Amino acid sequence: ETETKCETLLVAQEGGVAVITLNRPDAMNALNAKLLSELNTVLDKCDADPEIGCVVLTGGEKAFAAGADIKEMKDKSFADAFNTDFIAPYDAIASHKKPLIAAVSGFALGGGMELAMICDMIIAADSAQFGQPEIQLGIMPGAGGTQRLTRAVGKAKAMDLCLTGRRIDAEEAERSGLVARVVPQTALMEETMKIASKIASFSQPAVAMIKKSINTSMATPLPEGIRQERHLFYSTFATEDQKEGMAAFTEKRKPDFKDR
Ligand code: HXC
Protein backbone atom coordinates (compact mmCIF):
# COMPACT_ATOMS: atom_id res chain seq x y z
CA GLU A 1 0.00 0.00 0.00
CA THR A 2 1.28 3.45 -0.84
CA GLU A 3 1.15 6.03 1.90
CA THR A 4 0.23 8.97 -0.29
CA LYS A 5 -2.57 10.95 1.38
CA CYS A 6 -4.69 12.64 -1.22
CA GLU A 7 -7.69 14.95 -1.08
CA THR A 8 -8.83 14.27 -4.62
CA LEU A 9 -7.58 10.76 -5.39
CA LEU A 10 -7.75 7.25 -3.98
CA VAL A 11 -4.62 5.22 -4.45
CA ALA A 12 -4.33 1.45 -4.11
CA GLN A 13 -1.95 -1.27 -5.17
CA GLU A 14 -2.75 -4.77 -6.37
CA GLY A 15 0.36 -6.81 -7.10
CA GLY A 16 2.44 -4.83 -9.57
CA VAL A 17 -0.44 -2.53 -10.50
CA ALA A 18 -1.17 0.86 -8.96
CA VAL A 19 -4.78 1.99 -9.22
CA ILE A 20 -5.50 5.71 -9.02
CA THR A 21 -9.16 6.70 -8.69
CA LEU A 22 -10.22 10.29 -9.37
CA ASN A 23 -12.32 11.17 -6.36
CA ARG A 24 -14.30 14.39 -6.60
CA PRO A 25 -17.71 12.73 -6.93
CA ASP A 26 -19.64 15.92 -6.12
CA ALA A 27 -18.07 17.66 -9.12
CA MET A 28 -18.13 14.79 -11.65
CA ASN A 29 -14.38 14.50 -11.02
CA ALA A 30 -13.75 17.93 -12.54
CA LEU A 31 -10.00 18.40 -12.80
CA ASN A 32 -8.77 21.23 -10.59
CA ALA A 33 -5.22 22.31 -9.81
CA LYS A 34 -5.12 20.29 -6.60
CA LEU A 35 -6.13 17.09 -8.38
CA LEU A 36 -3.61 17.53 -11.19
CA SER A 37 -0.86 18.23 -8.68
CA GLU A 38 -1.75 15.17 -6.59
CA LEU A 39 -1.97 13.03 -9.71
CA ASN A 40 1.54 14.06 -10.77
CA THR A 41 2.88 13.36 -7.27
CA VAL A 42 1.39 9.85 -7.27
CA LEU A 43 2.64 9.15 -10.81
CA ASP A 44 6.15 10.30 -9.77
CA LYS A 45 6.01 7.78 -6.92
CA CYS A 46 4.84 5.02 -9.27
CA ASP A 47 7.72 5.75 -11.65
CA ALA A 48 10.16 5.55 -8.74
CA ASP A 49 8.70 2.31 -7.31
CA PRO A 50 10.33 -0.79 -8.82
CA GLU A 51 7.39 -2.93 -7.70
CA ILE A 52 4.94 -1.05 -9.93
CA GLY A 53 4.80 -2.30 -13.51
CA CYS A 54 1.62 -0.62 -14.69
CA VAL A 55 -0.73 2.14 -13.53
CA VAL A 56 -4.51 2.27 -13.96
CA LEU A 57 -6.34 5.60 -13.84
CA THR A 58 -10.08 5.48 -13.32
CA GLY A 59 -12.97 7.63 -12.10
CA GLY A 60 -16.48 6.89 -10.91
CA GLU A 61 -19.30 5.00 -12.54
CA LYS A 62 -21.06 8.23 -13.69
CA ALA A 63 -17.96 10.14 -14.66
CA PHE A 64 -14.34 9.47 -15.44
CA ALA A 65 -13.99 13.25 -15.45
CA ALA A 66 -16.37 15.90 -16.80
CA GLY A 67 -13.57 18.26 -17.76
CA ALA A 68 -11.34 20.89 -16.31
CA ASP A 69 -12.97 22.57 -13.31
CA ILE A 70 -15.09 25.29 -14.89
CA LYS A 71 -15.68 27.02 -11.55
CA GLU A 72 -11.94 27.29 -10.97
CA MET A 73 -11.29 28.58 -14.51
CA LYS A 74 -14.14 30.94 -15.15
CA ASP A 75 -12.65 34.17 -13.77
CA LYS A 76 -9.14 33.69 -15.10
CA SER A 77 -7.72 36.50 -17.24
CA PHE A 78 -5.45 35.86 -20.19
CA ALA A 79 -2.55 37.03 -18.04
CA ASP A 80 -3.45 34.52 -15.27
CA ALA A 81 -3.70 31.70 -17.79
CA PHE A 82 -0.50 32.61 -19.62
CA ASN A 83 1.63 33.43 -16.61
CA THR A 84 0.66 30.38 -14.57
CA ASP A 85 0.54 28.12 -17.68
CA PHE A 86 -2.18 26.17 -15.92
CA ILE A 87 -2.24 23.43 -18.56
CA ALA A 88 1.40 22.51 -17.83
CA PRO A 89 0.45 19.76 -15.32
CA TYR A 90 -1.13 17.82 -18.21
CA ASP A 91 2.25 17.78 -19.99
CA ALA A 92 3.79 16.48 -16.78
CA ILE A 93 1.28 13.62 -16.64
CA ALA A 94 2.20 12.69 -20.22
CA SER A 95 5.90 12.62 -19.41
CA HIS A 96 5.72 9.67 -17.02
CA LYS A 97 7.49 6.39 -17.73
CA LYS A 98 5.26 3.56 -16.50
CA PRO A 99 2.37 2.55 -18.76
CA LEU A 100 -0.85 4.29 -17.80
CA ILE A 101 -4.23 2.78 -18.68
CA ALA A 102 -7.43 4.82 -18.48
CA ALA A 103 -10.46 2.79 -17.37
CA VAL A 104 -13.34 5.02 -18.42
CA SER A 105 -16.92 4.75 -17.23
CA GLY A 106 -19.49 7.46 -17.83
CA PHE A 107 -18.48 10.96 -18.92
CA ALA A 108 -15.00 11.74 -20.24
CA LEU A 109 -15.48 15.31 -21.41
CA GLY A 110 -13.18 18.19 -22.27
CA GLY A 111 -10.08 17.98 -20.12
CA GLY A 112 -11.37 14.59 -18.90
CA MET A 113 -11.26 13.21 -22.43
CA GLU A 114 -7.87 14.86 -22.91
CA LEU A 115 -6.61 13.20 -19.73
CA ALA A 116 -7.84 9.83 -21.03
CA MET A 117 -6.02 10.46 -24.32
CA ILE A 118 -2.81 11.29 -22.44
CA CYS A 119 -2.99 7.78 -21.01
CA ASP A 120 -1.31 5.08 -23.08
CA MET A 121 -4.49 3.09 -23.64
CA ILE A 122 -8.19 3.62 -23.00
CA ILE A 123 -10.44 0.77 -21.88
CA ALA A 124 -14.05 1.95 -22.05
CA ALA A 125 -17.10 0.67 -20.24
CA ASP A 126 -20.06 0.35 -22.58
CA SER A 127 -21.54 3.30 -20.63
CA ALA A 128 -18.67 5.64 -21.54
CA GLN A 129 -19.35 8.93 -23.31
CA PHE A 130 -16.57 10.99 -24.83
CA GLY A 131 -16.74 14.59 -25.95
CA GLN A 132 -14.89 17.86 -26.40
CA PRO A 133 -17.63 20.31 -25.36
CA GLU A 134 -15.30 23.32 -25.00
CA ILE A 135 -16.84 25.04 -28.03
CA GLN A 136 -20.11 25.25 -26.07
CA LEU A 137 -18.28 27.28 -23.40
CA GLY A 138 -16.74 29.70 -25.87
CA ILE A 139 -13.30 28.15 -25.62
CA MET A 140 -11.39 25.35 -27.31
CA PRO A 141 -9.68 22.15 -26.17
CA GLY A 142 -6.40 23.08 -24.52
CA ALA A 143 -4.76 19.93 -23.16
CA GLY A 144 -4.09 18.19 -26.46
CA GLY A 145 -7.69 17.70 -27.62
CA THR A 146 -7.16 19.11 -31.10
CA GLN A 147 -3.84 17.27 -31.42
CA ARG A 148 -4.09 13.83 -29.78
CA LEU A 149 -7.70 13.38 -30.91
CA THR A 150 -6.80 14.18 -34.51
CA ARG A 151 -3.91 11.70 -34.42
CA ALA A 152 -6.17 9.08 -32.81
CA VAL A 153 -9.25 9.36 -35.01
CA GLY A 154 -8.27 11.51 -38.01
CA LYS A 155 -9.38 14.95 -39.14
CA ALA A 156 -13.01 14.17 -39.97
CA LYS A 157 -14.08 12.97 -36.51
CA ALA A 158 -11.80 15.43 -34.72
CA MET A 159 -13.41 18.37 -36.53
CA ASP A 160 -16.87 16.88 -35.94
CA LEU A 161 -16.33 16.46 -32.19
CA CYS A 162 -14.44 19.69 -31.48
CA LEU A 163 -16.58 21.97 -33.66
CA THR A 164 -19.98 20.63 -32.56
CA GLY A 165 -19.24 19.49 -29.02
CA ARG A 166 -21.30 16.36 -29.61
CA ARG A 167 -20.63 13.29 -27.49
CA ILE A 168 -19.83 9.82 -28.80
CA ASP A 169 -20.58 6.56 -27.04
CA ALA A 170 -18.09 3.77 -26.37
CA GLU A 171 -18.97 1.89 -29.53
CA GLU A 172 -18.35 4.88 -31.79
CA ALA A 173 -15.18 5.64 -29.84
CA GLU A 174 -13.88 2.13 -30.48
CA ARG A 175 -14.89 2.22 -34.13
CA SER A 176 -13.03 5.52 -34.48
CA GLY A 177 -9.81 4.21 -32.94
CA LEU A 178 -10.01 6.29 -29.77
CA VAL A 179 -10.32 3.36 -27.36
CA ALA A 180 -8.57 0.00 -27.32
CA ARG A 181 -11.45 -2.11 -26.02
CA VAL A 182 -15.05 -1.78 -24.87
CA VAL A 183 -16.19 -3.98 -21.99
CA PRO A 184 -19.44 -4.28 -20.03
CA GLN A 185 -19.74 -1.61 -17.33
CA THR A 186 -19.77 -4.16 -14.52
CA ALA A 187 -16.56 -5.81 -15.79
CA LEU A 188 -14.58 -2.60 -16.37
CA MET A 189 -12.15 -2.88 -13.46
CA GLU A 190 -11.78 -6.64 -13.69
CA GLU A 191 -10.92 -6.51 -17.39
CA THR A 192 -8.63 -3.51 -16.99
CA MET A 193 -6.80 -5.17 -14.09
CA LYS A 194 -6.24 -8.28 -16.20
CA ILE A 195 -4.61 -6.16 -18.90
CA ALA A 196 -2.57 -4.15 -16.37
CA SER A 197 -1.37 -7.26 -14.49
CA LYS A 198 -0.32 -8.86 -17.76
CA ILE A 199 1.72 -5.75 -18.68
CA ALA A 200 3.19 -5.63 -15.15
CA SER A 201 4.41 -9.23 -15.55
CA PHE A 202 6.61 -8.34 -18.53
CA SER A 203 10.10 -6.86 -18.66
CA GLN A 204 9.87 -3.32 -17.30
CA PRO A 205 12.58 -1.96 -19.59
CA ALA A 206 10.92 -3.55 -22.64
CA VAL A 207 7.53 -2.14 -21.61
CA ALA A 208 8.99 1.33 -21.04
CA MET A 209 10.78 1.24 -24.40
CA ILE A 210 7.61 0.24 -26.24
CA LYS A 211 5.68 3.08 -24.60
CA LYS A 212 8.43 5.53 -25.49
CA SER A 213 8.72 4.28 -29.05
CA ILE A 214 4.99 4.39 -29.79
CA ASN A 215 4.77 7.88 -28.32
CA THR A 216 7.72 8.87 -30.49
CA SER A 217 5.66 7.88 -33.53
CA MET A 218 3.25 10.70 -32.66
CA ALA A 219 6.02 13.27 -32.74
CA THR A 220 8.44 12.34 -35.50
CA PRO A 221 8.55 11.67 -39.23
CA LEU A 222 8.69 7.95 -40.07
CA PRO A 223 12.44 7.62 -40.87
CA GLU A 224 13.37 9.29 -37.57
CA GLY A 225 10.87 7.12 -35.65
CA ILE A 226 12.25 3.98 -37.30
CA ARG A 227 15.79 5.08 -36.43
CA GLN A 228 14.88 5.61 -32.76
CA GLU A 229 12.97 2.32 -32.65
CA ARG A 230 16.03 0.45 -33.95
CA HIS A 231 18.29 1.93 -31.25
CA LEU A 232 15.79 0.98 -28.55
CA PHE A 233 15.34 -2.48 -30.06
CA TYR A 234 19.09 -3.17 -30.10
CA SER A 235 19.35 -1.92 -26.52
CA THR A 236 16.89 -4.59 -25.35
CA PHE A 237 19.77 -7.03 -25.99
CA ALA A 238 21.62 -5.33 -23.12
CA THR A 239 18.95 -6.46 -20.63
CA GLU A 240 18.86 -9.62 -18.55
CA ASP A 241 15.19 -9.88 -19.43
CA GLN A 242 16.00 -10.45 -23.13
CA LYS A 243 18.28 -13.35 -22.16
CA GLU A 244 15.65 -14.69 -19.76
CA GLY A 245 12.76 -14.33 -22.22
CA MET A 246 14.57 -16.10 -25.05
CA ALA A 247 16.07 -18.76 -22.77
CA ALA A 248 12.61 -19.50 -21.33
CA PHE A 249 11.24 -19.92 -24.86
CA THR A 250 13.91 -22.39 -25.89
CA GLU A 251 13.65 -24.27 -22.57
CA LYS A 252 9.84 -24.39 -22.91
CA ARG A 253 9.20 -22.71 -19.53
CA LYS A 254 7.63 -19.46 -18.31
CA PRO A 255 9.97 -16.46 -18.22
CA ASP A 256 10.69 -14.67 -14.95
CA PHE A 257 11.43 -11.06 -15.83
CA LYS A 258 13.45 -9.20 -13.21
CA ASP A 259 15.01 -6.08 -14.72
CA ARG A 260 13.87 -2.90 -12.99
C1 HXC B 1 -16.88 22.09 -12.53
C2 HXC B 1 -18.55 20.54 -12.78
C3 HXC B 1 -18.05 20.17 -14.05
C4 HXC B 1 -16.88 20.85 -14.52
C5 HXC B 1 -19.77 18.97 -13.64
N6 HXC B 1 -19.62 19.76 -12.56
N7 HXC B 1 -18.85 19.21 -14.55
N8 HXC B 1 -17.95 21.48 -12.04
N9 HXC B 1 -16.34 21.79 -13.72
N10 HXC B 1 -16.32 20.55 -15.71
C11 HXC B 1 -20.43 19.82 -11.35
C12 HXC B 1 -21.76 20.52 -11.62
O13 HXC B 1 -21.59 21.91 -11.59
C14 HXC B 1 -22.58 20.01 -10.47
O15 HXC B 1 -22.22 20.71 -9.30
C16 HXC B 1 -22.08 18.57 -10.31
O17 HXC B 1 -20.79 18.53 -10.93
C18 HXC B 1 -22.97 17.57 -10.97
O19 HXC B 1 -23.14 17.94 -12.32
P20 HXC B 1 -24.58 18.09 -13.02
O21 HXC B 1 -24.40 19.00 -14.18
O22 HXC B 1 -25.60 18.46 -12.03
O23 HXC B 1 -24.83 16.58 -13.50
P24 HXC B 1 -25.62 16.08 -14.79
O25 HXC B 1 -26.88 16.86 -14.97
O26 HXC B 1 -25.71 14.60 -14.64
O27 HXC B 1 -24.69 16.43 -16.04
C28 HXC B 1 -23.42 15.85 -16.16
C29 HXC B 1 -22.63 16.58 -17.25
C30 HXC B 1 -22.57 18.08 -16.92
C31 HXC B 1 -23.24 16.33 -18.63
C32 HXC B 1 -21.20 15.96 -17.23
O33 HXC B 1 -22.13 18.25 -15.59
C34 HXC B 1 -21.68 18.88 -17.81
O35 HXC B 1 -22.01 19.20 -18.96
N36 HXC B 1 -20.51 19.28 -17.29
C37 HXC B 1 -19.58 20.15 -17.96
C38 HXC B 1 -18.91 19.43 -19.08
C39 HXC B 1 -17.95 20.36 -19.79
O40 HXC B 1 -18.32 21.38 -20.37
N41 HXC B 1 -16.65 20.02 -19.74
C42 HXC B 1 -15.62 20.78 -20.37
C43 HXC B 1 -15.05 21.74 -19.38
S44 HXC B 1 -13.92 22.82 -20.13
P45 HXC B 1 -23.35 21.44 -8.38
O46 HXC B 1 -22.53 22.13 -7.35
O47 HXC B 1 -24.10 22.33 -9.30
O48 HXC B 1 -24.14 20.27 -7.87
C49 HXC B 1 -12.51 21.94 -20.24
C50 HXC B 1 -11.37 22.71 -20.84
C51 HXC B 1 -10.17 21.85 -21.01
O52 HXC B 1 -12.41 20.81 -19.86
C53 HXC B 1 -8.99 22.70 -21.29
C54 HXC B 1 -7.71 22.06 -20.89
C55 HXC B 1 -7.71 21.33 -19.63
Nearest CA to ligand 1 atom 25: 28
pLDDT of residue 3: 57
Instruction: Report pLDDT digits (tens) over 186-214.
Output: 999 999 999 999 999 999 999 999 999 99
Cβ 28 under 6 angstroms from ligand 1: yes
- Rounded distance from Cα 67 to ligand 1 centre (Å): 7
Cβ 67 under 6 angstroms from ligand 1: yes
- Which stretches of the chain score pLDDT less than 50? 1-2
Closest C-alpha among 129, 132, 125 to residue 168? 129
- List strand residue ranges (DSSP E) for the chain, in order: 9-14, 17-22, 54-58, 63-65, 100-104, 107-109, 121-125, 129-131, 167-169, 181-183
Return the best residue to mutate from 28, 75, 115 for the ligand 1 pocket (most ligand atoms within 8 A of CB): 28
Cβ 133 under 6 angstroms from ligand 1: yes
Nearest CA to ligand 1 atom 32: 66
Catalytic residue numbers read: 68, 111, 114, 134
Q: What interface predicted TM-score (ipTM) does this complex get?
A: 0.98
**How is 130-165 classified by DSSP, letter by letter?**
EE-GGGGGT----SSHHHHHHHHH-HHHHHHHHHH-
pLDDT of residue 144: 96
